[in-house]
């Protein structure tokens, strides 16, 4: 687990909360919590994993095209 740290400057709690929320989203914590919230059938699990793999492949292919 990564330690997520946000500094509060000039008692600006709202800004610190926005920064914290963004860091948590980038870390993927919200997504993991949402998945653990309820039971996921094995077939849904496999389907989700396939979709995620296809998405990663598309992103990698797009990056490769942009590097040329």
Task: Report pLDDT for 21.
Answer: 92
Q: At what angle do helices 13-27 and 29-37 cross, to 10 degrees?
A: 70
What is the C-alpha separation between 65 and 48, in angstroms, rounded?
Answer: 26
User: Do 56 and 46 share a structural domain?
Assistant: yes
User: Do 33 and 44 share a structural domain?
Assistant: no
Q: In terms of residue numbers, what domain contains 25?
A: 1-37
User: Do 31 and 1 share a structural domain?
Assistant: yes
Confidence of residue 55 (pLDDT cuts 50, 70, 90): very high
Using CB atoms within 10 Å of the CB of residue 50, give its burial: 0 to 12 exposed, 13 to 18 middle, 19+ buried: exposed
Q: How many CB atoms lie within 10 A of CB 5?
A: 7
User: Do 12 and 22 share a structural domain?
Assistant: yes
Whether the per-residue pLDDT at 2 is higher than 80: the answer is no
User: Do 33 and 3 share a structural domain?
Assistant: yes
User: Do 28 and 4 share a structural domain?
Assistant: yes
**Prediction pTM value:** 0.58
Confidence of residue 1 (pLDDT cuts 50, 70, 90): low
User: Do 43 and 23 share a structural domain?
Assistant: no
């Amino acid at each position: 687990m990564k330690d997520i740290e946000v500094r509060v400057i000039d008692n600006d709690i709202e800004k610190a909360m926005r920064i914290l929320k963004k860091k948590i989203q980038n870390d993927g914590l919200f997504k993991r919590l949402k998945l653990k919230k309820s039971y996921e059938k094995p077939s849904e699990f496999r389907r989700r994993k396939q979709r995620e793999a296809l998405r990663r492949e598309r992103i990698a292919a797009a990056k490769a095209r942009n590097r040329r």
